[in-house]
Amino acid sequence: MKYDCDLIKDLLPLYHDKATSDYSSKIVDEHLNECDECCRYYDEVKKATDIQFKSPPKSDNAGGYLSLAKRIRRAKWYWRLCIGLLLGCMISVSLMYADGNRFDPISAAHAGNVIDKNARLLATVPMGKERILYIYDDDGLYRDIDVIYHFPFWTYSYKWPNRTIADPNSGVQLITRGGYANSINKSLYILFAVAVNDARVAYMELGKEGKMQRQNVDSPISVFFWDETGKWDGTGTWNGMIKDSELRGTAYASDGTVLYNLAHETNGQDTIKWIPVD
């Protein structure tokens, strides 16, 4: 059966892709056996199809692709490591925060849970860059809150608890005394805090012979503080320490009249009291 060449040419692409029916394929076969022109056209169709769908040549940059794949894998591990470190830091910070560590010293003092939230701050005593002593009036109880800096937190120190009951009947009362050693700069900080309830007291002297301080009394708490840098040798020997037995003190009126003297009493244990002068 003779068919129009244009019709056969339209079928050749489908015929080459084996997309024609058996009947149409038979017709195309018969026509190609009889028509040289359509045979030549079919050869061109096959060449064009082979070029269009031929697999691309292998790249000479295979090593570059492998290198890229390695970098991608390394990047994944890097981000996994960063995320792991971040989670670890967050957990560590949370645990330390729960243990009372804080980024600022005043919050660390309150996080120690040793003072009431309504306690009144009486004095702040910096002892170097890494230590601060806070003195509070906590409902009639004087408390020392010692906080220490350990990067990146401030934390409450339980090493120096000091609780003195406020005596409203005492005109002058010694409420804090102690020595604080710093192993980093070999410093020894000596501290005495005095509560003054007698309005007549204008100034005070406190210390030991050769190391007396004089202060005007302009607040309920007077803090006498000595920074003995280089006086601590890192052992139990504290050169420059003021012992209780060496402590002397006098409270004066504005005209220089002596109102109180610091006295040492021994009644089962050594005590230091401010005794009014009759």
* Phi, psi of 89, deg, nearest 5: -65, -40
Q: What CA–CA distance (Å, rounded) separates 134 from 187? A: 19
What's residue 275's pLDDT?
Answer: 93
Residue 81 pLDDT exceeds 80? yes
Tens digits of per-residue pLDDT, 209-268? 888 999 999 988 999 988 876 666 666 666 677 888 889 999 999 999 999 999 987 665
What's residue 223's pLDDT?
Answer: 93
Tens digits of per-residue pLDDT, 25-66? 888 888 888 888 888 888 888 877 665 544 445 555 555 656
Tens digits of per-residue pLDDT, 119-169? 899 999 888 778 888 889 988 889 888 888 888 899 888 655 577 889 988
DSSP β-ladder status, 131-137 and 270-276: unpaired
What's residue 54's pLDDT?
Answer: 47
Total count of residues recorded for the chain? 278
DSSP string, 172-239: EEEEEEEEEEETTTTEEEEEEEEEE--TT--EEEEEETTEEEEEE--SSEEEEEEEETT-B-SSS-BT
